[in-house]
Chains A and B, each alone.
Chain A
Amino acid sequence: SYELTQPPSVSVSPGQTARITCSGETLPKKYAYWYQQKSGQAPVLVIYEDSKRPSGIPERFSGSSSGTMATLTISGAQVEDEGDYYCYSTDSSGTLRVFGGGTKLTVL
């Protein structure tokens, strides 16, 4: 089965840049998406199609993808950015979806 691999945790101080990586063998051909989930809430899309930002998402959130790795970057991370971040993509056929294991971001 297809997998996306993320680090379990990332920790930064407020104002620093947080980078969360996601690796998967089909990422060279398939888009990566990123969801933010805060405690007790439904996930929110923060990046789609590798690097596009939905309306309402702060400019400090950006995404990139190169080879088998996608990266979510939060430039000048703020305390309110704490939460779990999940990358998301599809298998090579484009029909099966998959979430990465999630990365807990701590900003303190």
Chain B
Amino acid sequence: QVHLVESGGGVVQPGRSLRLSCVASGFTFRSFGIHWVRQAPGKGLEWVAVIWYDGINKYYADSVKGRFTISRDNSKNTVYLQMSSLRAEDTAVYYCVRDNLEVAGTYDYWGQGTLVTVSS
């Protein structure tokens, strides 16, 4: 059974850093691209970043480019999102999401999310 479990959220002051983790299980992790998608309280979905299966190709939304870094450790079945220079508008639930290899361009599994609150 596929599971994606996020952790690392919490309350952080503006300008500080935080690292989120997503631990995967139940599938061949090294074969799948993984995305981070966030949702601010009461707001819509926002795509944040993706890291391809091999860890080489990484892409970011303009809103986080230069501040966030996505990485993965295939030996630990884990994807990370290092967030720095955090702003109030980064407050959201952050979801780890798996690429659907059968239907290109879509997602098939979502984690339960971890809440990041940026506030002084």
- A101 and B105: CB pair below 8 A? no
Residues of B within 8 A of A37 (CB): 45
Number of interface residues of A (CB under 8 A): 23
A45–B103 contact, CB under 8 A? yes
The stretch of A15-23, A60-68, A69-77, A90-98 in contact with B is A90-98
Contact A97/B50 with A45-B106, A54-B103 known, Cβ cut-off 8 Å: yes
Interface residues in A22-54 (C-beta closer than 8 Å to B): 31, 33, 35, 37, 42-43, 45, 48-49, 54
Q: Which interface class (under 10, 10 to 19, 20 to 34, 35 or more) fits B?
A: 20 to 34
Interface positions, chain B 23-39, Cβ under 8 Å from A, are 35, 37
A43-B45 in contact given A1-B63, A96-B59, A97-B35 (Cβ < 8 Å): yes
B81 to chain A, nearest CB (A): 15
Tell me whether A84 is interfacial, beta carbon within 8 Å: yes
**A84, B45: Cα distance in complex, Å:** 10
Contacts of B107 in A (CB 8 A): 43, 45
Q: Contacting B61 at CB < 8 Å: which of A35, A42, A48, A96?
A: A96
Write the residues of chain B forming the contact surface with A, with a CB cutoff of 8 angstroms.
Answer: 35, 37, 44-47, 50, 57, 59-63, 95, 100, 103, 105-108, 110
